């Protein structure tokens, strides 16, 4: 009878150990992903247990944070990433977030854990403010976040069939610029209208603004990143323009300068 009792105790012990091990493994591998919270109220009122950020990386619009705090094993911790929802109008702009840790463990060991946060709610907020780059100031840790509308795929034949002129009268409130084909219409008189021409061999030309109004066409090369919809225009040594395509068809090129 005593042997049976010991055997059952060992089985229970290993079952609990495995369960705890699986929980810890899931946590460390970042399977408990959460969305970033945008709320001034929660930013002010969420738990303020001491936490130190060791490292932060952004991968595919997810922010992966490695952090440490005192505790027993960290399994009971609850962590949230909370943003105020405002930003400073620097270049690029910056916003403040807080890594909130609810830590009721009374041990003094220093425990390191990882957490992963989906930044889509932050993207949705800042897309309305016409920016695709922003500095995240997270509990004293600063990281540059560049986000993209990756689901959009454009036909570059629409881009390379002709030249494009800035129809600035149509620019929208989200800081997006509207370009039309050169033969789209007769554009109103303007001191300067930016001009681009993209060719299939990655050669391009663009209009250079001159202080004395003697604007001139300059040749360059262009590259397109289909994963981010970003076009980079370069001279022999420098990046001249960098912008993200927001919309594209035969009659309109809508872009956001980066």
What is the CATH number that goes with domain 157-257?
Answer: 2.40.128
Q: What is the pLDDT of residue 248?
A: 93
Q: Does 72 have pLDDT greater than 90?
A: yes
Helix or strand (DSSP H, E) at 41: helix 40-45
The more confident residue out of 247 and 87 is 247
CATH entry 3.20.20.70 includes domain 29-146:
no
- DSSP code per residue over 1-31: -HHHHHHHHHHHHHHHHHHHHHHHHHHHTT-
Under the banding of pLDDT at 50, 70 and 90, the label for residue 127 is: low
Q: Does 20 have pLDDT greater than 50?
A: no
> What are the start and end residues of each CATH 2.40.128 domain in the chain?
157-257
pTM score, whole prediction:
0.49
Under the banding of pLDDT at 50, 70 and 90, the label for residue 32 is: very low
Q: What is the pLDDT of residue 87?
A: 77
Greatest Cα pair distance, the chain, in angstroms, is 101
Q: What is the pLDDT of residue 205?
A: 96
Q: Does 12 have pLDDT greater than 50?
A: no
Give strand pairing partners of 100. 80
pLDDT cut 90: percent of the chain above it: 55
Work out the average pLDDT over 181-205: 95
Under the banding of pLDDT at 50, 70 and 90, the label for residue 131 is: low
Query: Average pLDDT, whole number, for the chain?
Result: 83
Q: How far apart are CA 147 and CA 43, in angstroms?
A: 23
Under the banding of pLDDT at 50, 70 and 90, the label for residue 173 is: low
Q: What is the pLDDT of residue 118?
A: 87
Residues 6+ positions from 13 with CB-CB distance below 8 Å: none
Q: Does 71 have pLDDT greater than 60?
A: yes
pLDDT tens string 226-256:
878 899 999 988 999 999 898 899 999 999 8
pLDDT tens string 39-58:
999 999 999 999 999 999 98
Q: Does 112 have pLDDT greater than 70?
A: yes
Q: How far apart are CA 51 and CA 67, in angstroms?
A: 7
Please identify which residue in the block is written with the tokens 């303020």: 48
Work out the average pLDDT over 173-180: 84
Q: Do the beta carbons of residue 60 and residue 107 sit within 8 Å?
A: no
Mean pLDDT check: name the lowest of 29-38, 68-77, 215-224. 29-38
Residues 6+ positions from 157 with CB-CB distance below 8 Å: none
And the tokens for 149?
A: 């509308």
């Amino acid at each position: 009878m005593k042997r049976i009792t010991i055997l059952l105790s060992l089985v229970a012990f290993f079952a609990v150990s495995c369960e705890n091990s699986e929980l810890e493994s899931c946590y460390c591998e970042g399977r408990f992903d959460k969305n970033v919270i945008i709320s001034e109220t929660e930013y002010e009122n969420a738990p303020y247990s001491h936490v130190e950020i060791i490292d932060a990386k952004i991968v595919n619009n997810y922010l992966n944070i490695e952090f440490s705090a005192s505790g027993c094993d960290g399994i009971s911790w609850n962590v949230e990433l909370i943003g105020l929802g405002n930003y400073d109008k620097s270049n690029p702009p910056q916003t403040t977030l807080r890594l909130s840790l609810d830590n009721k463990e009374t041990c003094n060991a220093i425990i390191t854990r990882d957490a992963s946060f989906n930044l889509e709610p932050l993207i949705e907020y800042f897309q309305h403010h016409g920016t695709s780059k922003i500095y995240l100031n997270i509990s004293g840790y600063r990281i540059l976040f560049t986000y993209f509308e990756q689901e959009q795929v454009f036909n570059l034949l629409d881009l390379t069939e002709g030249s494009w002129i800035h129809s600035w009268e149509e620019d929208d409130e989200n800081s997006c610029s509207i370009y039309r084909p050169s033969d789209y219409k007769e554009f109103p008189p303007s001191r300067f209208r930016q001009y681009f021409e993209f060719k299939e061999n990655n050669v391009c030309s663009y209009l250079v603004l001159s202080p004395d109004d003697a604007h001139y066409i300059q040749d360059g090369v262009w590259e397109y990143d289909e994963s981010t919809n970003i076009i980079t225009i370069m001279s022999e040594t420098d990046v001249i323009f960098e912008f993200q395509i927001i919309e594209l068809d035969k009659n309109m090129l809508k872009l956001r300068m980066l």
